[in-house]
Structures are given as C-alpha cells and as structure tokens.
Amino acid sequence: MIEKTKFVRFKNIEIIIMQSTTGLKKLEAIIEDVNKNGIVAENLIKQLTELREIAKVEQDPLVVKTLRLVYVYIEDEGHFDLNLLEEEEIEELEEEETVLEENEEVLEEEEEEVFIETVEDFEERRENFIYFLNLIKDALNEYNRIELKKIRTFLWTEIYG
C-alpha cells in the first residue's frame, strides 16, 4: 500500500505528486542507481515502470504520461540522450518565469513545436536524466510542469510522430 503524506489542490483536483513516502524513496533510489551505475536501459525501464504505478495512485496524468514516454524512449533508443539542460532552454524557462511573476497568471499550454537537442557524453546524459527525475520529484512546481509538458510533447512526437 502506498502511504499518502500530503494532499494538494491543483486545478480543482486533489492530488499528491511524488509526495508519498513510497514515491520519494523510489525516486531517490533511481537517482542513487543512476549516479552509481549510469543509465542502464534495462534497470531504468523497470524502475520507471514501477515509479509510474506510484504516480498513477498519486493521480497526476502529466507525470504518468511523461514517465511512460521516457521509458518507451529509453526502450526504443537504448539510452536517454535528451539535453534538458541546454542553456537556450534554461533561458527560455527563465523568461517564462518572469512573465508568470509579472502577470501572476498560469500560462496555458500552447500548441507549439518543441525541439530538444541530444547529447552523446555519458556524464551529460546522466546529469540530464537526474534533472528529469528532479522535475518529477517537484512536479507541483509550476515551472517544472512547463518543462514536463515540453518533454512530454517532444517525446510524443519522437515516438509516435
């Protein structure tokens, strides 16, 4: 049984996002495994599938879908090579944060084509994957949700495009 520790109201729905003890422990275990062993496709697919089951209980469709797309991508490609830490993407996110702060409004998801570069370096792959896991870890954060939506859109196009 998954222990729920915190309910949060988000867009008129009560949810808990990776706030359960089980979810947080699973995320930390995946991060530790990636730091120790790198990105091993077989291990990550299994771990992300388990994490997705926890996310289903925690009732966040964005996290559930993004986790599925990530492990399908890893299964298809054999690795995680998305460059989520690209400087241009970070600058774009900072601009969006400024707009949010100035207007004090939530940005609606816009229909746009999302491009994410890939990386070849082992260390960069690891850092980018851990960045993704940290987005999931704090998925209620408005800015993290924007990034997760970009990742989801990109992966959907890459896989089913």
pLDDT, tens digit, 9 for 90 and up, residues 90-111? 455 555 555 555 544 444 444 4
The mean pLDDT value of the chain amounts to 79
- Write down the pLDDT at residue 59: 87
pLDDT, tens digit, 9 for 90 and up, residues 108-154? 444 456 667 776 788 898 999 999 999 999 988 999 999 999 999 99
**Residues with Cβ within 8 Å of residue 15, at least 6 apart in sequence:** 7, 8, 9, 58, 59, 60
- Write down the pLDDT at residue 61: 94
- Write down the pLDDT at residue 100: 54
Closest CA to 125 of 77, 68, 91: 77
- Write down the pLDDT at residue 129: 94
pLDDT, tens digit, 9 for 90 and up, residues 39-88? 899 999 999 999 999 999 988 899 999 999 999 999 999 889 898 887 54
- Write down the pLDDT at residue 17: 47
Distance CA 99, CA 110 (A): 14
What are the domain boundaries of the chain?
8-160
- Write down the pLDDT at residue 71: 97
How many angstroms from the chain centroid is the CA of residue 120?
20
**Residues with Cβ within 8 Å of residue 131, at least 6 apart in sequence:** 84, 85
**Cα torsion angle, 112, 150, 146, 68, sign:** positive
